[in-house]
Amino acid sequence: MTRVALDPAAVAAFLVARHGAALGDAAIDIHPLQGGLCSDVALVTARLRGGARPRRVALVVKVVDGAREAAVYRRLSTSVARRFSPELLGAQRLGRRRWLLYLERIVPAHPWPWADSAHTARVLERLARFHGETAPGAALPAWDYEAENLAAARGALSLAERLPRGEVPALARSMPALRRVVAALPAMRRQLLAFQPLGTTVIHGDVHPGNVMIRRRGGVAEPVLLDWARARVGSPLEDVSSWLQALGYWEPEARRRHDTLLAGYLAARGLAPALTRPLRDAYWFAAASNALAGALGYHLSIASDSRAGQPGAASDARAAAARNAADWLRVIRRADARWS
């Protein structure tokens, strides 16, 4: 997406309409945040003097293509997810396709809570509650995710084929498995989506440590899932494997307790916490699907960026991307072994 500078006047108009302060009394600061691959995100703070006492407000503003994400947040507001997703405060159209989303700011209670497995498990418990809702597709905007997933997978394979093996050493032993998994992906996903008793439901679609915070509300620490842009109907195991695999890369305790956490999710869904062969197959098919949806291609592209070859931060980013790619290639090999 082309970067879009937020117009302070547009933000001020929204704040005035929401809080009733006079336009001239609003002092606004806009600070860009590190967002995702597909949108610009900023933290907006303002001092409003329209009432008897000055007020300070803070919210997150996100620039998105199309109205789909706003519709997703409105769907969340009528579901159990309203307790663990940011509130949509408003949406403003910028042009034919661009929108501004005004979202509740979530203040984290801890910068890295995931060394405590209890917090990791609470995320899975919240996902279990969300996945267990009825009428999973109600009012959710359509998205041909299967076509997009397959296109991204083929793009990742094409990039891997062109990449010198020395850039990502794990490619040398992973290419046969990567080719087989990309070729089998449509059939693999059909089997995943048909897996019972989990079936399909609305999923978050992008659960990783950058999209989850722990906040304290009413004296209780609770997880909040951010960035619902990829919410869709899919397999619950896509969320579960995304969370456990992404977190496991950074947090050794989460990787060590992987099976216990997965069984805990099943128990929270009211199912027997038995990690059967069919369940493990479906889990790794979901994880490989996640890898091919964007994560693997993204890290391969960074690892292959010749501009990042110089010493310093860019070179460090390239090396980190190669390590991340190797971890996702491990997932691809696991899925290939299960499929074969």
Q: How far apart are CA 279 and CA 164, in angstroms?
A: 36
Helix (H, G, I), strand (E, B) or coil at 227: coil
Q: Return mean pLDDT, the chain.
A: 90
pLDDT at 1 over 50: no
Torsion of CA 266, 180, 299, 256, to 10 degrees: 30
Q: What is the pTM of this model?
A: 0.92
Residue 235 confidence (pLDDT): 97
Give per-residue pLDDT as tens, 163-217.
987 889 999 999 999 999 999 999 999 999 999 999 999 999 999 999 999 999 9
Q: Write down the pLDDT at residue 147.
A: 98
Instruction: Look up residue 230 and give its amino acid.
Output: R
Average pLDDT over residues 235-249: 97
* Residue 86: pLDDT over 90: yes
Q: Is 70 exposed, middle or buried (0-12, 13-18, 19+ CB in 10 A)?
A: buried
What is the C-alpha separation between 321 and 168, in angstroms, rounded?
9
Residue type, 29: D
pLDDT of residue 52: 66
pLDDT (0 to 100) of residue 287:
98
pLDDT over 90 (residue 94): no
Sorted by sequence, the CB contacts under 8 Å of residue 144 that are 6+ apart come out as: none
First to last CA, the chain: 38
**Residue 331: which pLDDT band, with cuts at 50, 70 and 90?**
very high
Query: Each residue of 248-305: pLDDT tens digit?
Result: 999 999 999 999 999 999 999 999 999 999 999 999 999 999 999 999 999 999 998 8
Secondary structure (3-state) at 87: coil
- Nearest-angstrom CA–CA distance, 283 and 289: 10
Whether the predicted pLDDT of 313 surpasses 70: no
pLDDT at 39: 57
Which two three-digit tokens encode residue 312?
């310093």
Contact in structure between 235 and 144 (CB atoms under 8 Å): no
**What pLDDT score was predicted for residue 136?**
53
Question: Which residue type, as a one-letter code, is found at position 182?
Answer: V
Assigned token pair, 295: 């994560």
Is residue 69's pLDDT more than 90? yes
88-94: long-range pairs with CB below 8 Å, 24+: 89/18, 89/59, 90/14, 90/18, 91/67, 92/10, 92/14, 93/67, 94/4, 94/10, 94/63
pLDDT in tens, 13-57: 888 888 876 555 567 888 888 755 555 899 999 887 766 677 788
Q: According to the model, what pLDDT value does residue 142 have? A: 85
- The predicted model gives 151-174 an average pLDDT of 94
pLDDT of residue 2: 47
What pLDDT is recorded for position 216?
A: 94
